[in-house]
Amino acid sequence: MKEEHFFEKQTMSSRIKASIVSEYFPSYCKIIAKRHVPKQIRYIDLFAGPGVYDDGNASTPILIARYCQNNDFLRNKVRLIFNDNMYSATLEQNFYKEFPVGTFLYKPHFGKSTVGCCKEINKFLMQNTHENNRNEYPSLLFIDPFGYKGIETRVLAEFLKNWGNEIFLFVNTKRIHPALENDKFESLMLDLFPTTLDQIRLDRRFKANVSERLSLIINSLGNEYETLLGGKVFYTAFKFQEEDIKTTSHYILHITKGARGYDLIKTIYNDFANVGTFFDGVNTYTFDAKKLDSTECELFDVNSANIDLLKNMIYEHFNDCIITAYELFETHHKANLYSRSHYTEALRRLVEEGKITSTYTDGKKHQKSVLISKYCILNFKTNG
């Protein structure tokens, strides 16, 4: 699909992508405010589009604004910063149709610069926004280009240095995959993989299938940020399948330095994924629009089997331990893709199987055997 036709009709994949980002942002703001109430929280969208598709469906900028409008704290704390070199004027017009001037305390910005060719954008993203050792302008950045031009990993790594800053990055693996072997795109690939490009080209030759090669792209991109920042970075991909054929279309990649953001994004990804997936180091949360109209019955319950895998991992790791469900989750989830609800279900299965017992210390009656809570005590029986 050509870029000029992209906003004619919203696909289900585009709707899911917009929903993921727009539902994440309000919860992200709550996480920030619990640690420190800053002067301003920013939502930055560098390829914002017109805000509304020709078919009338709202895209991410309008959805984000609706969440902010309906919450007093967000309405008075969030600054919306939009940019699009093609649709800026249309976005501004569509925005003010629904949100008149004065709706938000901070006036939204509608830029029209070309990302990748504008030094001012890079300078803005790379600035230190800390005052007295606190980030007074924590920001969620959404980069959703039509291809991959304009994604400069070194610039984005500088952006992530500020406490609380996080990124949603659209990764068009269909274009990146062939570009890795084309010298014409050398400079663009170096922007994307500044420290690992040669290694990726070497490693991809030893991958057995397309899924492994695409996973290599995602993992290499995530590892770039850990290398450049010199510390732990949580990166989590959500995969979209093509809407008409059985191949991968693209990914969105969430990047954060905070474990709480990692917890949150896995919960939201899990809500929108509709493909059962084993978290085997290659596969991740996945949406396939073709399944929405499918009448095929699954012969094998992948989701249930995935819970069993986690259940066994937990039992092996915490054998003969007494620990709160909260502490178990906080210490264990950081090393895998399983969400909070996965852990809850896995622990309840262990109770049902008699491998652990659970008691509550808050004096309340609970219908569920396990909740991820500091008041839920888990006693693991000895294995064997």
CB count within 10 Å of CB 136 equals 15
Phi, psi of 268 (to 5 degrees): -70, -45
At residue 275, does pLDDT exceed 90? Answer: no
At residue 241, does pLDDT exceed 90? Answer: no
Q: How far apart are CA 139 and CA 153, in angstroms?
A: 17
Question: Is 3-293 assigned to CATH 3.40.50.720?
Answer: no
User: For residue 321, what is the DSSP state?
Assistant: -
| pLDDT (tens digit per residue) in 62-74 | 999 999 999 999 9
- The predicted structure's pLDDT at residue 1: 46
At residue 5, does pLDDT exceed 60? Answer: no
Decide: 136 and 176 in contact? Cβ < 8 Å.
no
Q: Where in the chain is the domain with CATH 3.40.50.150?
A: 3-293
Residue 4: pLDDT band with limits 50, 70, 90: low
Residue 226: pLDDT band with limits 50, 70, 90: very high
Q: What is the mean pLDDT of residues 272-292?
A: 87
- The predicted structure's pLDDT at residue 248: 82
| pLDDT (tens digit per residue) in 162-197 | 999 999 999 988 888 888 888 899 999 999 999 999
- The predicted structure's pLDDT at residue 6: 65
How would you list the strands of the sheet with 166-171, edge to edge? 109-111, 78-83, 41-45, 139-143, 166-171, 248-256, 234-241, 285-287
Residue 290 bridge partners (DSSP): none
- The predicted structure's pLDDT at residue 296: 60
| pLDDT (tens digit per residue) in 23-62 | 999 999 999 999 999 999 999 999 999 999 999 999 999 9
User: Tokens at residue 34, please?
Assistant: 């619990």
At residue 311, does pLDDT exceed 70? Answer: yes
| pLDDT (tens digit per residue) in 325-334 | 999 999 999 9
Q: What average pLDDT does the structure give for the chain?
A: 92
| Domain 302-380, CATH class in plain words | mainly alpha
Q: What is the DSSP string of 173-222?
A: HHHHHHHTT-GGGHHHHHHH-TTTHHHHHHHGGG-SSHHHHHHHHHHHHH
- Strand spans (E) along the chain: 41-45, 78-83, 109-111, 130-131, 134-135, 139-143, 166-171, 234-241, 248-256, 285-287, 322-324, 356-360, 376-380
- The predicted structure's pLDDT at residue 355: 96
- The predicted structure's pLDDT at residue 301: 64
Please tell me which residue, 149 or 250, carries the higher pLDDT value: 250
Least confident segment among 21-30, 149-158, 208-217, 258-267: 208-217
- The predicted structure's pLDDT at residue 144: 87
CB count within 10 Å of CB 327 equals 16
Q: How far apart are CA 54 and CA 260, in angstroms?
A: 37
